Amino acid sequence: MKKLLIALCLSFLSVASFSQSSNTPIAIIPQPVSVTQTNGKFTLPENIVIEAGTQPEMKQVVAFLKDRLSVPTGRQVTVNASAPSATVRLLLNQKADAALGKEGYQLSVKPSAIEIKANGAAGLFYGVQSLVQLFPAAIESPSKVANVTWEAPCVEITDYPRFGWRGLMFDVSRHFFTKDEVKIYIDNMVRYKYNLLHLHLTDDEGWRIEIKSYPNLTKAGAFSAKKVGYFGTFDPPAPEEPRNYGGFYTQEDIKELVQYAKDRFVNILPEIDVPGHSLAAVVSYPELSCTPGVEKYQVRSGEEIMDWSHGHPPIALVDNTLCPANEKVYEFLNKVVTELAQLFPFEYMHMGGDECPKNYWEKSDEIKALMKKEKLKDMNEVQSYFTKRLEKIVMSKGKKFIGWDEILQGGLAPNAAVMSWRGIEGGIEAAKQKHEVVMSPTTFAYIDYMQGDPIIEPRVYATLRLNKAYTFEPVPDGVDPKYIKGGQANLWTEQVYNMRHAQYMTWPRGFAIAESVWSPKEKKNWNNFFQRTEQHFDRLKAADVNYAPSVYEPIISVSQTADKQLKVELATEAEGIDIYYTFDNSFPDNHYPKYKEALTFPKEAVMLRVITYKGNEPKGRLMSIPVEELQKRAEMKNAAH
């Protein structure tokens, strides 16, 4: 689940001036339940009045809307609790509209005024997000923009989410992201109506949260030696290399983040990953391991610590597990969970459970004695024993237990919820056992995967293109939907070093997952979605948020003809994209040959270069593919057949 990730950042300059009006189609992401465009347009006046209640939960709704209507436009905005001639009215329903639920809204844009109604402040917040998306892209700018006609089409929208769990997982363990960077991630995700941030707080590469009962977790476990390159291939740090790369959140930081998220109607799900992925904890407290003192533990800096050649689970080269036969482990976990429960009000607590190697357990006399005492048949049952004890600890603090789908092996804890990542099969099995399920399968929702061709994306072990992500369906056929709480995308960060890169990996695939968990299933349409996505690229540029243009770049298929010549076929995910190419080492533009049919690689040529255009505008990045790379792909294809 958590292996290599990506590393490519685009730089977008802040846009100082736009010449744009609202003459573009309605392009709201995620797609609302019902949109009816009516006659006319709303034009933003010079002096804007927002009518809104003074309830505490309304504070951020009003603050966000005021910011967007004033900063990029330069307009004056005032807020009143009662304003009969208000420009925008934010109204809480006196009598709840059952169809809207807690997060739904009704948005009415007329030529003279705008009205948003909802049962609660969350619904108003999401209605405001949709309203902002009706204005020109420049509305997203962090500074004043000139030459914009600030208009929105007149519409009637009724909207509410399909699922209550709409999440993004952000791995802050593999690389540490500061408190302020996490806030940026929250700001970006709520624009697309996500309501859950899953923070992966601990792993082999770092323990990121202060636990006052165990201060060494952050003193020793939060720092490693800095390495740059391909994660998993680094040499172990030399003894003299400084271990000062990393960081952690104090408990005051966590309280601040929890409140920041709450103000934006986001819950934070904390994850402490045990019993595997626990090297940072074992470094801090070696007595928690089944093999204390056998080796000098160190927080992982990206060196190889697992042998994956034998499949799943891996064989550990370093014991990175907590010991299920050690009572000190349960004392440790009880104190950790106690402190977590006091910090995170969300009802669930994620305790990991994935990719736990068993080879060190198999050698342990303590484990053998535990198996005999508890009548455990194999190592899966040993992990199940651990999980069931941990679930009792979590429940004793008033929380619900959730873990990765490996917790099914050896017997599922009685009340555990399952997050299904190895495809959807684990989720199906858990739902059939009448357990709650969150779907986050690698096949559709792992946004650490490559987004395009490996020649231009940092190579990892799998690819997830935007159009595949958009086919994500959280409720498998034959499964009772009442057990499917929703879904989420997961961003693992082994090779994501900074926020620009995290944004690059999240968007636009985050659009696809947002629509899969918010919009009605029958509303989903790839061509319509991509048309809206293109408009949101402009919005991300205006907001100075990074994104990946990979969807515009060619899908390259290589084979060999009967006479051993290379045959190259090119395609694109998006319609209306033209591909231009060269074999002569020059750099193609739209004056070069346009791809129309499969290409035969010239005998003496050494390089294929391709670039995509939409009309006269270049879209994808220039891709240069040496003949050796194409030959390798053709041979791999032949071997596979």
Q: Which residue has the higher pLDDT, 39 or 297?
A: 39
Could you read off the pLDDT of 390-414 as tens digits, one per residue? Answer: 999 999 999 999 999 999 999 999 9
Closest of 492, 5, 462 to residue 231, by C-alpha: 5
Catalytic residue among 355, 457, 515, 538: 355
CA 77-81-82 angle, to 5 degrees, is 95
* 355 carries an active-site annotation: yes
Kindly indicate the confidence band of residue 295, based on its pLDDT and cuts at 50, 70 and 90: low
Strand partners, 350: 271, 402
Kindly indicate the confidence band of residue 458, based on its pLDDT and cuts at 50, 70 and 90: confident
Is residue 450 over pLDDT 50? yes
* 203 carries an active-site annotation: yes
What residue spans define the domains of the chain? Answer: 17-159, 165-519, 553-640
Mean confidence (pLDDT) of the chain: 94
Could you read off the pLDDT of 558-587 as tens digits, one per residue? Answer: 999 888 899 999 999 988 999 999 999 999
Task: State residue 6's pLDDT score.
Answer: 34
Rounded CA gap, 603 and 618, in Å?
Answer: 29
Task: State residue 1's pLDDT score.
Answer: 47
Q: Does domain 17-159 have CATH number 3.30.379.10?
A: yes
Task: State residue 449's pLDDT score.
Answer: 97
Task: State residue 292's pLDDT score.
Answer: 79
Q: Is the pTM of this model over 0.75?
A: yes
Closest of 606, 607, 600, 590 to residue 569, by C-alpha: 600
- Across 107-121, 279-293, 333-347, least confident range: 279-293
- Across 9-13, 57-61, 285-289, least confident range: 9-13
Could you read off the pLDDT of 469-528 as tens digits, one per residue? Answer: 999 999 999 999 999 999 999 999 998 999 999 999 999 999 999 999 999 999 999 999
Distance of CA 474 to the CA centre of its chain: 15
Task: State residue 4's pLDDT score.
Answer: 38
| Arithmetic mean of pLDDT, 218-228 | 95
Other Cβ atoms less than 10 A from the Cβ of 445: the count is 28
Distance of CA 267 to the CA centre of its chain: 15
Could you read off the pLDDT of 225-265 as tens digits, one per residue? Answer: 999 988 999 999 998 899 999 999 999 999 999 999 999 99
CATH class of 553-640: mainly beta
Per cent of the chain over pLDDT 70 is 96
Task: State residue 561's pLDDT score.
Answer: 87
* 256 carries an active-site annotation: no
Could you read off the pLDDT of 409-443 as tens digits, one per residue? Answer: 999 999 999 999 999 999 999 999 999 999 999 99
Amino acid (1-letter code) at residue 555 = I
Q: Which element (helix H / strand E) includes 566?
A: strand 566-571
Task: State residue 23's pLDDT score.
Answer: 59
List, in sequence order, every beta strand (DSSP E) within 446-498: 484-491
Task: State residue 263's pLDDT score.
Answer: 98
Is residue 286 over pLDDT 80? yes
End-to-end CA distance of the chain: give it in Å, rounded: 27
CATH class of 165-519: alpha beta
Catalytic residue among 203, 204, 319, 405: 203
| Arithmetic mean of pLDDT, 609-636 | 95
Task: State residue 296's pLDDT score.
Answer: 76
Catalytic residue among 277, 350, 501, 536: 277
